[in-house]
Amino acid sequence: MLVGSIHGVQRRMLVDFQRPAYQDPKGAVMADLGLDVAAPTVAVAAKPACPERLAERATAVRQVLLLADRPLSAEQVARSFTGVRAATVDEVLEMLVIMGQARQVGEDVVAYAA
């Protein structure tokens, strides 16, 4: 008895889904469902603030150099953070060069690499 009723439901569903009123291939019926659907947005990571302490600032600047695919100028490194000037980053970069944690690349245009 149960098997017969399952087959009957399956047959009715098959018939319901085959009727043109339920298929809507052009999206005419589905377009106006009253749903407010927004397109997915891509999350953009905010720039971190430049650390206040010198040791943390040096670590952060070196991390930027390590992740870079090419040598960067002090201005380019400064753009990786909020609230820091290129002159401040330049001092940190010079310190990293002296300590052997970064190297200066180029004579005319000064850039740094890890």
What pLDDT does 11 receive? 58
Rounded distance between C-alpha atoms, residue 20 and residue 28, angstroms: 12
Contact predicate 113/105, CB 8 Å: yes
Rounded distance between C-alpha atoms, residue 90 and residue 104, angstroms: 11
pLDDT, mean over the chain: 77
pTM (predicted TM-score): 0.58
Contact predicate 43/83, CB 8 Å: no
Instruction: Convert the pLDDT of each residue in 11-36 to its tens digit.
Output: 555 555 555 555 666 666 555 556 56
Of the pLDDT bands very low, low, confident and very high (cuts 50, 70, 90), residue 87 is very high
Instruction: Convert the pLDDT of each residue in 32-66 to its tens digit.
Output: 556 565 656 666 678 888 899 999 999 999 999 99
Contact predicate 69/105, CB 8 Å: no
Rounded distance between C-alpha atoms, residue 96 and residue 55, angstroms: 11
How many helices (H) and strands (E) in the chain?
A: 5, 2
Chain centre to alpha carbon of residue 44 = 5
What pLDDT does 34 receive? 61
